Amino acid sequence: MPLDPGYDDMLRQLAALGGPSLAEVPVEAGREMFRAMQVAAPEIEVAAVTDISAGGVPARVYRPDGDGPFPVVMMFHGGGWVIGDLATADSQSREICRGAGVVVVSVDYRLAPEHRFPAAAEDCYSATLWAAEHAGVHDGDPGSLAVAGDSAGGNLAAVVAQMARDRGGPPIAFQLLVYPVTDGVNFDRASYRDNAEGYLLTAEAMHWFWDHYAPTRNDRRHPYASPLLADDLSRLPPALVMTAEYDPLRDEGEDYARALANAGVDARFVRYDGFIHGFFAHTRTIIATREAMSDACAALRGAFNAA
Q: Which sequence positions are flagged as catalytic? A: 151, 247, 277
* Residue 212 C-alpha from the chain's centroid: 18
- Coil, strand or helix at 44: coil
Cα 299 from Cα 93, distance rounded (Å): 15
Neighbours of 81 (CB within 10 A): 31
Q: Amino acid letter at 112?
A: A
Residues 6+ apart with CB under 8 A from 11: 3, 198, 199, 200, 276
Share in percent of the chain as helix, strand, coil (round to 5): 45, 20, 35
Cα 3 from Cα 284, distance rounded (Å): 18
First-to-final CA distance of the chain: 36
Name 103's bridge partners: 72
Contact 214, 117 (CB under 8 A): yes
